[in-house]
Amino acid sequence: MEIKLNNTLIKDWNGYKGRPFLISGPCSAETEEQVMETARQLAELKTVSVYRAGIWKPRTRPNSFEGVGSEGLKWLRRVKQETGLLVGTEVANEKHVYEALKYGVDMLWIGARTSVNPFTVQEISDALNGVDVMVLVKNPINPDIELWVGAIERIARAGITRIGAIHRGFSSYEKTLYRNQPNWQLPIELRRRIPDLPIICDPSHIAGARQYLHEISQKAMDLNFDGLMIESHIDPAKALSDSAQQLTPNDLKELLSRLILRNASTNDPKLLDVLGELRQQIDVYDDHLLDLMERRMKVAETIGHYKKENNITILQSTRWDEIVNKVMAKGLAKGLSAEMIDAIFKAIHQESINHQMMVMNNGLKNPAK
């Protein structure tokens, strides 16, 4: 089902300075000086639309820095007055909403530990009823698209017309290269379900480390995301939270200069012609692949009948090893990646087993008889 929001286009949001819609600022507001100096340097870049700073910080363990609280909202108000940047902060309950609005905060975001909880999102939504403010909903920490969509719907119901999603990655039990798994298929599915919803990537919380920020930002731009939220600090090494992932405003400028922005579409009729033809070829090959798959499964079923009649097990691991080694060598020689060959053949093998199971369970008749 397609979800209809009463959302305005991101290019009509106040503060919009072109793609990527850029949000930057420290993970946490720490001191007035740190907030003001970071903001001054960011304002000079002329590309930042919203200055972010966490005022109330959700921390995994107690006894970590939990934010400066409402005092910091005065600093954000000063940032707005002195630099002209819009300002934004994270809200995790109705009190935060009222406090932030009292100080004229332009953008509120709902954090990943809050968007998982429908009670809290509803409480925030009720506090926002009838208010004209920008609201961005971070993905929940666990990869659950329904929760993410549900949180967005709750905010939309409050009458908010500038809603966006922030993709900040998903936590995983396994230790991985990045702090949070990007699971790009989730924001892509979100775009399919709510095409008009702006999506902003937060490479900082996906990466967890400065060195990966550029590659993640580039990927988000290549997937046609609308914006980026990147944490910055005048002295990242001294940051009280997320020190390893923050950039100086100058390093942010350097990162942005290396981003390649491609067009989402083209009107050039010649190029459209060529692309149309090539896409037709892709469709033809996809049909071939499906036909081949169907034929392969039919052969697997026939083998299944022989196995059944001769009372042997479906899984023959030596035969499977032989196939894996053979296709891997051939596939690599054709320039295909080991990762794809492995994934595709595992799926094909599983499908063959499923078809043979149906044969064993009498679900399929032997066509040879």
Asked if residue 228 lies in contact with residue 207, where contact means CB atoms within 8 angstroms, the answer is: no
Least distance CB 45 / ligand PEP (angstroms) = 20
Strand locations in 220-292 (E): 227-231
Which listed option, Mn ion, ligand PEP, none, makes contact with residue 147 (CB within 5 to 8 Å by class)? Answer: none
58 versus 104: smaller Cβ distance to ligand PEP: 58
Least distance CB 59 / ligand PEP (angstroms) = 9
Which listed option, Mn ion, ligand PEP, none, makes contact with residue 112 (CB within 5 to 8 Å by class)? Answer: ligand PEP
How far apart are the two ends of the chain, measured CA to CA in Å?
45
Least distance CB 28 / ligand PEP (angstroms) = 7
- Residues 276-304: b if buried by 16+ CB within 10 A, e if exposed: eeeeeeeeeeeeeeeeeeeeebeebbebb
Strand locations in 112-158 (E): 134-138
Which listed option, Mn ion, ligand PEP, none, makes contact with residue 168 (CB within 5 to 8 Å by class)? Answer: ligand PEP
Tallying the residues shown for the chain, one arrives at 369
Strand locations in the chain (E): 21-25, 48-52, 86-90, 107-110, 134-138, 163-167, 199-201, 227-231
96 versus 168: smaller Cβ distance to ligand PEP: 168
Neighbouring C-beta atoms of residue 250, cutoff 10 Å? 13
Residue whose beta carbon is closest to ligand PEP: 111
210 versus 305: smaller Cβ distance to ligand PEP: 210
Which listed option, Mn ion, ligand PEP, none, makes contact with residue 143 (CB within 5 to 8 Å by class)? Answer: none
Helix-strand-coil percent breakdown of the chain, rounded to 5? 50, 10, 40
Which listed option, ligand PEP, Mn ion, none, makes contact with residue 138 (CB within 5 to 8 Å by class)? Answer: ligand PEP
Interface with Mn ion (CB under 5 A):
27, 242
105 versus 359: smaller Cβ distance to ligand PEP: 105
Which listed option, ligand PEP, Mn ion, none, makes contact with residue 236 (CB within 5 to 8 Å by class)? Answer: none
Least distance CB 242 / Mn ion (angstroms) = 4
Least distance CB 41 / Mn ion (angstroms) = 19
**How far apart (Å, rounded) are the C-alpha atoms in residues 97 and 114?**
13
7 versus 241: smaller Cβ distance to ligand PEP: 241
- Residues 63-86: b if buried by 16+ CB within 10 A, e if exposed: eeeebbeeebbebbeebbeebebb
Asked if residue 204 lies in contact with residue 245, where contact means CB atoms within 8 angstroms, the answer is: yes
In degrees to the nearest 10, what's the CA dihedral of 143, 180, 23, 79? 110
Least distance CB 214 / ligand PEP (angstroms) = 19
161 versus 183: smaller Cβ distance to ligand PEP: 183
Which listed option, Mn ion, ligand PEP, none, makes contact with residue 111 (CB within 5 to 8 Å by class)? Answer: ligand PEP
Q: Give the three-class secondary structure for 313.
A: coil
**How far apart (Å, rounded) are the C-alpha atoms in residues 126 and 101?**
14
Interface with ligand PEP (CB under 6 A):
27, 54, 58, 111-113, 138, 168, 205
Q: What is the DSSP letter of 209?
A: S
Least distance CB 112 / ligand PEP (angstroms) = 4
Which listed option, Mn ion, ligand PEP, none, makes contact with residue 150 (CB within 5 to 8 Å by class)? Answer: none
Least distance CB 175 / ligand PEP (angstroms) = 18
10 versus 91: smaller Cβ distance to ligand PEP: 91
15 versus 169: smaller Cβ distance to ligand PEP: 169
Least distance CB 22 / Mn ion (angstroms) = 16
15 versus 111: smaller Cβ distance to ligand PEP: 111
